[in-house]
Structure 1
Amino acid sequence: MQPLLSLSGVEKSFGALKVADAITFDLAQGEALGIIGPNGAGKSTLFNLIGGALKPSAGTIRFDGADVTGMRASERCRRGVGRSFQIPHPFVGMSVYENLLVASQFGGAGFDDPRSACKEILEKTGLIHRANKPAGSLTLLERKRLEMARALATNPKLLLLDEIAGGLTEGECHDLVATIKQIHAGGVSIIWIEHIVHALLAVVDRLVVIDFGKIVAEGEPRAVMADPLVQEIYMGISVDDEAA
């Protein structure tokens, strides 16, 4: 079976600054992939390249069998790439429910009954009690939930989650992980950038570590986290410190 997503030699430079350096990996149908790395490592840039907000300086991106390297974000969304953003920007004058209905108009396969589907998504994401409230009245944590809900309303084959757990309490994080597991079990492939590693490890099948725009480690999540190089890069634990 061909991969759902395939990046081959993807690079992005802004002048002399290279923020994505020969990124190559595949994502299988139904897989959940976690991406970690220090601040400024190039994680959000990678999402912008996959989602279509940025075009690569070099390399190829294929999604669901098609070369999407030059496609706009809107076209990738219609093909099945849904994304949440780290800083939520809902349509503040619309209700939470209306935000989802708008998103559902731009998805891939579409829903037979968009209204029922949006209601279901609100229930899954814990926002059903806020459905008729203006999105501008939500708390930051509720806006984060709305970000994920809007992405799901596009009926994605691939869901990109950008630090969706940031700012949540432990209980809220636990509930969110349960929701993401449910979404994944429903057949949606996931790529998740997250600093809250224990949340990530509860969901993902594979972990990629990025530093200075390069993939420096990849594999089974707990094995990757035990790698001394990853511990030094991501957690500041040097091999010498551990040996002392």
Structure 2
Amino acid sequence: MEPLLRLTGVNKSFGALTVSDNVTFDLPKGQALGIIGPNGAGKSTLFNLIGGALAPSSGMVMFKGQDVTAQPASARCRAGIARSFQIPHPFVGMTVFENLLVASSFGGAGHHDAREACHDILERTGLLPKANRPAGSLTLLERKRLELSRALATGPELLLLDEIAGGLTEAECHALVETIQAIHASGVSIIWIEHIVHALLAVVDRLIVIDFGKIVAEGAPRAVMADPMVQEIYMGISVDDQAA
């Protein structure tokens, strides 16, 4: 079966600095993939390459069997790729509901009734009671939920989550994870970058570790996290420390 997303030999350089180095992987339809790595490893650049905010220096990005390497972010959004951002930037002077209506007009969902679809999304993400509140009045957790809701309003088949749990309390993080689990269970494929590893492990089916722009480990999440090399790269636990 053709994968939903396929990256083949994707490279991105800024002058002499290589930030994505021969990145190659497939994402089957319906899978949730986690991506971890130290700060500066190239995770956000990879999201920009998948979402279309950046064009690769070389390599190919395929989505639903189509070459989208040269397509801009707007075209990829209409094709079914949606992204949340680490720092939410809603239209603060608009209501929560209006934010979703704007997002729905840019995606490829083709909602027969956009208002009904946005109502359903707000119910799924726990924001329905805040539908008529100005987005600028929301708490951080509510803004994260709005960021997620706006992405869903475009009708994605692939949802890119960029450190959406960052800055939340433990209880808030747990509540958000439950929402993401429900979204994944509904059939939406997910790629999630996250530093809060326990949140990631509660959702993802597979884990990729990136360091200096390269994929250095890939596989079942808990097996990857148990790899001594990954522990040294990501958590600073050296092999010698473990042997002591």
Q: Which runs of 5+ in 2 are unaligned?
A: none
SS of 1:241's partner is helix
Q: Tell me what 1:145 maps to.
A: 145
Q: Tell me what 2:2 maps to.
A: 2
The one-letter amino acid of 1:36's match is I
Q: Tell me what 2:77 maps to.
A: 77
Distance (Å, rounded) in 1 between the aligned partners of 2:37 and 2:114: 37
SS of 2:106's partner is coil
Structure 1 residue 107, shift from structure 2 partner: 1.4
- Kindly indicate whether residue 97 of structure 2 is the aligned counterpart of residue 97 of structure 1: yes
Distance (Å, rounded) in 2 between the aligned partners of 1:213 and 1:104: 33
Distance (Å, rounded) in 1 between the aligned partners of 2:105 and 2:228: 46
RMSD value over aligned CA atoms? Answer: 0.8
* Structure 1 stretches of 4+ moved >2 Å: none
Q: Tell me what 1:237 maps to.
A: 237
Distance (Å, rounded) in 1 between the aligned partners of 2:141 and 2:175: 13
Structure 1 residue 141, shift from structure 2 partner: 2.3
Q: Tell me what 2:173 maps to.
A: 173
**Residue pair 2:93, 2:136 contacting (<8 A) in 1 also:** yes
Distance (Å, rounded) in 2 between the aligned partners of 1:188 and 1:139: 26
Q: Which runs of 5+ in 1 are unaligned?
A: none
SS of 2:120's partner is helix
Aligned residues: 244
Structure 1 residue 92, shift from structure 2 partner: 1.2
Pairing of 1:13-28 with structure 2 (within 5 A):
13-28=13-28
Q: Tell me what 1:41 maps to.
A: 41
TM-score normalised by length of structure 2: 0.98
Distance (Å, rounded) in 2 between the aligned partners of 1:150 and 1:93: 15
Distance (Å, rounded) in 1 between the aligned partners of 2:110 and 2:161: 20
Identity of aligned residues (%): 78
The one-letter amino acid of 2:229's match is L
TM-score normalised by length of structure 1: 0.98
Distance (Å, rounded) in 2 between the aligned partners of 1:81 and 1:214: 23
The one-letter amino acid of 1:177's match is V
Structure 1 residue 117, shift from structure 2 partner: 1.3
Pairing of 1:155-194 with structure 2 (within 5 A):
155-194=155-194
